[in-house]
Structure 1
């Protein structure tokens, strides 16, 4: 059954979002919301506007049903929430289920617009509901990027073809993002454990969980290298000298879109697999996750595209080196070379692979091959 809503009835439908999240059955709801956002928003709803919404206009000879068309991204898109493309100009992402505020995306959107960072899907608005239980985020409204593909598609293509020229663009994008986020207000002045940042404790817990949750031959292999992995994490116990900045928090190639006009970083929701992650961390956290995701791409290329393991490993190493070189170079150009503490890269990479194993064990068992494949390339038998 198709649901057609006008700008008045959409508010009635949204009252029940907590118990009945929007899905494909609610065709017309996203377009109705955009129309409703042009007027006054009734209680108990509230809207935070970041940029003016585009207009949906039609040429004199165009045929249309009286409003912008909706379509889904498609079943092939792996997404936790439910996103709808409206008029090929706007994306409405419905949080399923709605998420209690504070949520990182609205405040990051506001800051990126303020500082003029353009390498993302244009942020337009955030819709919330305010009631006796507090404020809840219902939807995020952003721009649609034509011909966009995420890195689990386009980057795997690059790995299969053995190309790595893209890596410099990734490094520049990550550096520009960190420079923009480094001016986010409210950064703590103290990176010590007493100041609330417990990097070693968090990483150690991730290693223990990965060891507990990984079974079979992979678990035995991992257990045999537990001491080595633990030593790799030791730099996190030392005082962190560099600044803590607002980071993306889940920066991997899947969050980098290649679209008609270049590259864009998306999804500032934070890491859905990490509870209570600090919003202010060393930039090296994001950089390490981006670097390891390139190595995950290599593993995907081996598994799904038939690329030879040695060739994939070599491609990952070259792409990673090129991305890091471009990142360092761009920070220097922007006068912020001190944002990256190189000593933190390897320990954060180890922690990230542990988190990938935890994610695989709890949510997506078939994914375990990727982090295990990366770890086996880092610690080959002859190096024990």
Structure 2
């Protein structure tokens, strides 16, 4: 974006971004007042030329977030980019139309070309495979539906994730992907390359490129199709319906256990200290306190949940910590023709990178997947009101597949995760408390799903 005096372009882009940024689905600060500071970070050497800008959102309360904006300017409007037009810039050379470069197929080759050529400059390209394995000549297509980042598929060979929110340090998805590829992990996609630059003086991950699994279907789609088939059968149990998912749930459990073992090989383990377990218990209690102020229905189960969280502080020894996925659910698992593959190891995108790189119990991933099975089983009845028959079938499907997942995990790990009932129950309850807050704010008709789970967990805690 070098046409016209730099100052003219910069001032105009700043104003365009301030209006455009709050409209993007990956920007979480919608509805909040923020001062937006826009800076030119660097350029990618390609034609048309891509300029990477950063937008620093200062909310005035001490919270500051930085976002990545790859932009391209054109000397005339491009019809098929109208949906990602930020606006026009007046320069001495004439008007320039400014677009989100990730949607411009004429520019997106620049990232893969950088991985192949690895030019010297402000942007650092790291390639983990041979140059001929990078599909540099494939056209790109932006994937829809992503909440936190922007992903592009290149033909049927590669997928690039561009991190929208920038934080100093190596993104955990790159770090873990590289290490798991190095140790030959079977249940992850191969990392092809990564892109980095200095932002505010600190090395910062901008993007990563992985193999694209063309035959894959995500676990949520498969699981909910199984539930749909069951609900269509009026007189069959979950193990009798043609779309029974338990076999896949068991294989998925094995894949998660094997990936946890591969993470141990790559990063090692350590034992949690007593102080750490007390701190974890206190954090759980604090999240419950916050949630009670948002979801009044939690008051009915608060005492039981407090007992569950308090029990975590009493755990003495035997709690092994390691690198984990950190945000595992059915949508983060892809079923290919040959195997289950886990994706998106960056953890919770809005959390600080340092916290996402910390060791944690692998039971946290197990709890996340158990919650996902609960959601898959009940999603069809969330909007249907009180139908006892559908509720019975949803409960049956969820219980069957939760059990199958744990059995598959146990077969590979050598121990059933349910043996650690105190911690697993607490981690599942913590996740369900978060879900209750989210559903109350975004999908009120789905709130009964986490509330029912919390009622069950609180009762189990009282009888444990």
Q: Same fold (TM over 0.5)?
A: yes
Structure index of larger Rg: 2
Alignment partner, residue 364 of structure 2: 285
340, 365, 374: which one aligns with 2:453: 374
**For residues 361 and 125 of structure 1, do their structure 2 counterparts lie closer, same or farther at Cα, with a shift above 3 Å needed?**
farther
Are 2:40 and 1:9 aligned?
Answer: no
Q: CA 1:338–1:151 in 2, change beyond 3 Å: closer, same or farther?
A: closer
- Alpha-carbon offset, residue 248 of structure 1: 0.7
Matches of 1:278 and 1:256 in 2, distance apart?
20
Looking at structure 2, the residues matched to 195 and 186 of structure 1 have their Cα atoms a distance apart, in angstroms, of: 18
How far residue 249 of structure 1 moved from its aligned partner, in angstroms, is: 0.5
In 1, distance between residues paired with 2:310 and 2:440? 25
Q: Which has the higher contact order (CA 8 A, sep 6+)?
A: 1
- In the other structure, the counterpart of 2:305 is 229
How far 1:303 moved relative to its partner?
A: 3.2
Tell me by how many angstroms 1:266 deviates.
Answer: 0.2
| Residue in 2 that maps onto 1:205 | 286
Structure 2 spans left out of the alignment, 5+ residues: 1-42, 56-67, 72-99, 230-237, 239-243
Alignment partners' CA distance in 2, 1:123 and 1:253: 21
Match of 2:400 in 1: 318
Moved more, 309-318 or 13-22: 13-22
- Cα distance in 1 for partners of 2:383, 2:351 equals 28
| Aligned positions of 1:119-138 closer than 5 A | 119-138=187-206
Using structure 2 for the length normalisation, give the TM-score: 0.69
Instruction: Give, in angstroms, the shift of residue 159 of structure 1.
Output: 2.2
For the residues of structure 1 that align with 2:124 and 2:419, how far apart are their CA atoms? 38
Classify 1:295/1:195 alpha carbon distance in 2 versus 1 (closer, same or farther; 3 Å).
Answer: closer
- SS of the equivalent of 2:205 reads strand
Q: For residue 49 of structure 1, what is the aligned residue in structure 2?
A: 127
State the 1:290 CA deviation: 1.0
- The answer for unaligned runs of 5 or more in structure 1 is 1-5, 58-65
Aligned equivalents of 2:306, 2:277: Cα separation in 1: 22
2:140 alignment partner in structure 1: 70
Q: Identify if the C-alpha distance between structure 1 residues 28 and 205 changes in structure 2 by more than 3 Å, giving closer, same or farther.
A: farther
Question: How far does residue 372 in structure 1 lie from its aligned partner after superposition?
Answer: 2.5
CA distance in 1, matches of 2:357, 2:443: 25
Aligned to 2:328: 251
Contact kept? 2:183, 2:266, Cα under 8 Å: no
CA contact (8 A) 1:273 1:359 kept: no
Q: 2:11 corresponds to which residue?
A: none
Structure showing the higher strand proportion among its residues: 2
Q: What TM-score, normalized by structure 1, do the two folds share? A: 0.82
Preserved contact between residue 46 and residue 130 of structure 1 (Cα < 8 Å) = no
Q: How many residues align?
A: 358
Q: Which residue of 2 aligns with 1:298?
A: 377
Q: Aligned partners of 2:280 and 2:185: how far apart in 1?
A: 29
Question: How far off its partner does 1:359 sit?
Answer: 3.4
Structure 1 residue 273: Cα displacement: 5.4
What is the CA distance between 1:363 and its match in structure 2?
6.2
State the distance in 2 between where 1:13 and 1:115 align: 35
2:258 to 165, 172, 176: 176
Cα shift at 1:337: 7.6
Within the candidate set 113, 118, 129, 2:181 is matched to 113
Could you give the per-residue CA deviations for residues 44-63 of structure 1, whole angstroms, max 9, x where no partner exists?
11233333355478xxxxxx
SS in structure 2 at match of 1:29: coil
- Which residue in 1 is equivalent to 2:86? none
Partner of 1:33 in structure 2? Answer: 111
Tell me if the contact between 1:242 and 1:339 (Cα under 8 Å) persists in the aligned partners. Answer: no
Match of 1:3 in 2: none
Structure 1 distance, partners of 2:350, 2:54, is 23
Root-mean-square deviation (Å): 3.2
